[in-house]
Amino acid sequence: MVRVVSAPSPAILPAPVSVRRGAGRPVRLSGAVRIVAPRSLGSEARWLRRILEEGTGWRVEVVDPGDADGRAPTGSAVVLEVAAALRRQSRGRVAGGYRLEVRDGHVRVAGDGPAGVFYGLQTFRQLLPDATLRRASVTTGSGGRPAGAGPVVLEPLVVEDRPRFSWRGAHLDVSRHFMPKTFLLKLVDLLAFHKCNVLHLHLTDDQGWRLPVDRHPLLVEVGAWRRQSSTGHRRERRFDGVPHGGYYTKDDLRELVAFAAERHVTVVPEVDMPGHVVAALAAYPVLGNTHRRLEVGTRWGVYSQVLNLEERTLEFCADIVDELCDLFPSPFVHLGGDECPTTEWARSPKARALMATEGLASVRQLQGWFTKRVAAHVTARGRRVVGWDEILEGPVPDDAVVMSWRGVKGGVEAALAGHDVVMAPEEWLYFDWAYRDDPAEPLAIRGSTPVEKVYSFDPVPPEVPEDRRHHVLGAQCQLWTEYVPTSDRAEYQYFPRLCALAERIWSPSQGASVGDDGVAAYEAFEPRLARHLRRLAALDVNYRPLDGPTPGQSRKWR
């Protein structure tokens, strides 16, 4: 069976800057495909070979351009290169641009660097039949033997594309519910498929500690497990009586980081402090203000117990930062900093004495004092601090990145003060919220954030003046998991909202000049999204259909 992909409307998502009909002859891909790539693109070429072989059953070989030159072109080729002209164009702009051309038997993917080539290849995948996204070829030959996908004909096409923002991310809370490593790998693949490049892992919180720290082994031995979990909505004050937990080994995390790096995704680790630390206090009560024995948190919400501000606690935090930096090459280290009550410090003679010696006027300022100390350690390790927008209430390093979650206000303020900003406002980008305020939706913390609303979000609020816009690095969605007990459910919460976000952070803003396939308005987006959902189905994503949950996803049947 020959499948012809029509041009120039292949429903690419996120929408490229421009897509147009090309010149020359179509490309016919079948049983044997060559990938021509220089050694510097070996990682991208190997990745392409793996997914093409899996999804098509074709024989795919990777050859060096030196070997390919001079040989009569036999069969079709996918040619990868870093183009100096694209690299020049990208100078001073967000990297990741590419040009994909289908012409005269070849698919040529030129990038401004390896990431650009990789994004061009993600677009190429979307030109192929959906079945090729599967893990094995579904076209069976005689006797049921896999015969590989039949020939695919691609019409001549030119795609020119580049990302709008450098931070295109998704956050995942693995504390409230532990998520298996295989899901993290799948999520990285899905982020890359949508040309996103950051996975922000929220590794620690009151209800579970997931990060192994060799110098302080009880963090996971004790802190990774809770006796039971809240069930139903937390207002109901019911508990399930079932222990829950887990943690990643250092090798699990190294594997994740390496897997992500191959897909041009940075894993940004977060250790939340000085609040949201009950799991750590359960392991080491000496870090607390009362030294009272606590159990790992079982209810959702903000706890009054926070870290004390003693020197040995700061040393403990520095140990964590050190081991975190050894595991995660990310240029960014997230120190949390959100929702830190000051009631314990107000009652603590030691904290009050510290206020006096440091000349702090209010208990609130103690958090800034703490963050400044830990941030100095992060900076000394050559990394940049990221914090939730509460960190703006105290002194932070000039290069700290502020994550604006309580609306966009903190982000605007931070940009005006000269800080880089990642937009993560709850009203648009908290994907633990329900899609709709509807009893058919699965239980969620609150509602509602439909796909249209996510698509309406622009990371640069009008209050940010032109000369400060470069401070907005991009945006990310958040998935807090109090009400997300499984990875299956996590997929439901992310998809298809993440598709909408991906387009808003990759594609040109509304009103900008976009190609004939890339009108950035929801009316134009929705049909493309509907088409894209078939790709997600082939990738085994438990997405929410546009017209509402399936019976299996709905709360009505629970």
| Distance in Å, CB of 520 to ligand ACM, minimum | 28
CB 38 within 8 Å of CB 63 = no
| Distance in Å, CB of 483 to ligand ACM, minimum | 13
Active site residue 339: yes
The encoded tokens of residue 464 equal: 């940010």
Quote the Cα angle for 452-453-459, to 5°: 120
Alpha-carbon span 19 to 13, nearest angstrom:
12
The only residue of 54, 104, 255, 339 in contact with ligand ACM, by rule CB under 6 A: 339
The binding track of 449-478 with respect to ligand ACM, each residue x by CB under 6 A or -, is ------------------------------
| Distance in Å, CB of 180 to ligand ACM, minimum | 23
| Distance in Å, CB of 480 to ligand ACM, minimum | 6
Active site residue 44: no
User: Considering CB under 6 A, how many residues would be counted as binding ligand ACM?
Assistant: 4
| Distance in Å, CB of 450 to ligand ACM, minimum | 20
C-alpha 42 chain-centroid distance: 24
Active site residue 389: no
DSSP percent split of the chain into helix, strand, coil, nearest 5: 35, 20, 45
Tell me, what amino acid is at 550? Answer: T
CB under 8 Å, gap of 24 or more: what pairs does 313-318 form?
Answer: 313/287, 314/370, 314/373, 314/374, 316/216, 316/284, 316/287, 317/273, 317/374, 317/377, 318/374, 318/377
Is position 332 an interface residue for ligand ACM (rule: CB under 6 A)? no
| Distance in Å, CB of 405 to ligand ACM, minimum | 4
Alpha-carbon span 324 to 269, nearest angstrom:
8
Is position 338 an interface residue for ligand ACM (rule: CB under 6 A)? yes
Alpha-carbon span 366 to 552, nearest angstrom:
48
Q: Of 528, 473, 523, 479, nearest to 499 (Cα)?
A: 528
Closest to ligand ACM by CB, 211 or 514: 211
Catalytic hit among 202, 276, 471, 532: 276
Closest to ligand ACM by CB, 141 or 447: 447
Alpha-carbon span 467 to 243, nearest angstrom:
52
| Distance in Å, CB of 472 to ligand ACM, minimum | 18
Q: Of 451, 470, 450, nearest to 459 (Cα)?
A: 470
Q: Of 112, 107, 97, nearest to 10 (Cα)?
A: 107
Helices 250-262/311-327 angle, 10° precision: 50
Catalytic hit among 205, 272, 323, 503: 205
Closest to ligand ACM by CB, 209 or 405: 405
Residue nearest to ligand ACM (CB): 338
Closest to ligand ACM by CB, 405 or 457: 405
Closest to ligand ACM by CB, 389 or 517: 389
Q: How far apart are the first and last CA of the chain?
A: 43
| Distance in Å, CB of 219 to ligand ACM, minimum | 21
The binding track of 504-523 with respect to ligand ACM, each residue x by CB under 6 A or -, is --------------------
Instruction: Tell which positions 400-459 bind ligand ACM, by CB under 6 A.
Output: 405
Closest to ligand ACM by CB, 339 or 399: 339
Neighbours of 352 (CB within 10 A): 14
3-state secondary structure of 24: coil
Instruction: Tell which positions 369-388 bind ligand ACM, by CB under 6 A.
Output: 388
Closest to ligand ACM by CB, 250 or 299: 299
Is position 393 an interface residue for ligand ACM (rule: CB under 6 A)? no
DSSP strands (E only) in 162-237:
167-173, 198-202, 204-205, 208-209, 225-226, 230-231
Closest to ligand ACM by CB, 449 or 553: 449
Catalytic annotation, residues:
205, 276, 339
Q: Which residues bind ligand ACM (CB under 6 A)?
A: 338-339, 388, 405
